[in-house]
Amino acid sequence: MVSIIIAIIVFGIIIIVHEFGHFIAAKKSGVRVNEFAIGMGPKLFSKQCGETKYSLRLLPIGGYCSMEGEDKSSEDDRAFCKKSVIKRIIIVAAGALMNLALGFIFIVIMTSMNDTYAGTTISWFEDNASSQASGLQVGDRVININGMHIFTDTDFAYQLQSDKDGIFYMTVIRDGEKKELKDVKFSMSENDDGKKTSSLHIDFKVEPIERSISSIASQSWRRSVSYARLIWVSLGDLLTGQYKINDLSGPVGIVTAISDVVSNETTDSGINWQELLQNLFSMAALISINVGIFNLLPLPALDGGRLIFLIVEGIRRKPVSPEKEGAVHFVGLALLMMLMLYVTFNDVVKLIN
C-alpha cells in the first residue's frame, strides 16, 4: 500500500507541474483561468478562489487548466482566444516545458546523491577481451556507437545490449584525437544448441567521474538529453514494429512500475533509502520528460496539435475556423481516449497476471 501511495504522489507531482505550467503562463499573460483541476472524472473537492475554481477529481490520471475562450469564442477581453499568437503559443507549450524542467531537476537531485558516476572512457579489460582484440584500448573515450552519439553510460549500455550480432562501428577519442574503429567485436552467449543469442558480454569497465559542481551540471544535462532521445528512439521503434502497442504503459502501468521500484528496495532488513530514492528520481525524471515530449507531439488534442494550429495561424495571419479546429481536436481526443482505455486494460491485465 505504501508503495502505491508513493507512486501516486510521484505521478501526481508530474501532473500538477504540467498543469501549473499552463496555469502560471496563462495568468502572466492576462488570461482568465476558470478551473484548475487535478485528476479527471467526478469532482471530490473544489474551492473557488477569486476567478478560479480549484478542483480535485476522482481519477488520478491527468488534470486540466480550463481557460476562458480556449475551445470556443468569447467576448471577454481576458479570453485565451483574444491574446496574441505568441502568448497563446507560450501558454500551450508551458506545460510540456515545465515537465522537461522538472525531469532535469529530478536528474540533478539523483546525480547529486552519487559520489562518482560511470563515464564512457575505457579503464580495464578482462583477460582475452574480444573488444580489446578488435580495436578498443584503455583510455579510449567512446563518443559514438553505430551512428548514435554517446552522452552517458546509459547510451553505452543501450546500444551494446540492443545489438544482435555483437559487431559495432565505434568512434572514440584516443590521445586527444578522434579515431574510427570498424568491426569492434564482443562475444555472444550461446544456447544449448550452439546458436547465438542476442545476449552480449561486455568485457570491459569504464572510468568513474568524481562528483563536483561542474560534473553534476554536465552529467545532469547529458542524462536529460539522453533520456529525451531514448523516448524518441522508442517512439521510432514503436512505429517500425520493433515494439508492439501492447508494450505501451498508461497511468496504471506507470504507477505499477514506480510501485515495483519501491518494493524492490524494501527487504526484511528495511529499506535501502539511497538506492530507493535514486531509482525513484531516475524513473520520475524519465516519466516527466516522457510526458513533456509526448505532449509536444503534433497530434490532435495534445499540446503539440494545438501548437500546429497556432503556428498555421501565425503564418496565415488569421486563425483557423474554431469549428474546424474543435472538430479535429474532438476526433483526436476520442482516439486518444480509446488508446488510453486499451492501454489501461492491458496494464490491468499485466497487473493481474
151-182 pLDDT per residue, tens: 998 888 888 887 778 899 999 999 999 999 99
Residues contacting residue 32 through CB under 8 Å, at least 6 positions apart: 51, 67, 68, 76, 78, 79
Does the pLDDT of residue 247 top 90, yes or no? no
116-210 falls under which CATH superfamily?
A: PDZ domain (2.30.42.10)
Name the maximum alpha-carbon separation found in the chain.
Answer: 76
Average pLDDT, the chain: 86
| Domain boundary assignment for the chain | 1-115+212-353, 116-210
Q: What is the mean pLDDT of residues 126-138?
A: 92
Assess whether 265 carries a catalytic annotation. no
- The residue-averaged pLDDT of 100-113 equals 94
- Tell me the whole-structure pTM to 2 decimals: 0.85
Q: What is the pLDDT of residue 4?
A: 75
Which entry of 19, 70, 265, 325 is annotated as an active-site residue? 19
Which carries the bigger pLDDT value, residue 190 or residue 7? 7
Q: What is the mean pLDDT of residues 314-325?
A: 82
Query: Residues 172, 140: contact at Cβ < 8 Å?
Result: yes
- The mean per-residue pLDDT over the stretch 272-301 comes to 87
Look at residue 337 in the predicted model and tell me its pLDDT.
Answer: 78
> According to the model, what pLDDT value does residue 254 have?
74
- CA gap 344, 253 in Å, rounded: 7
pLDDT tens string 23-81: 999 999 999 999 999 888 888 999 999 899 999 988 777 788 999 988 777 888 899 98
- Segment 312-324 shows an average pLDDT of 84
Q: Which stretches does DSSP call E strand in the chain?
A: 33-49, 52-67, 116-125, 141-145, 148-149, 167-174, 177-185, 188-190, 196-200, 204-210, 266-267, 270-271
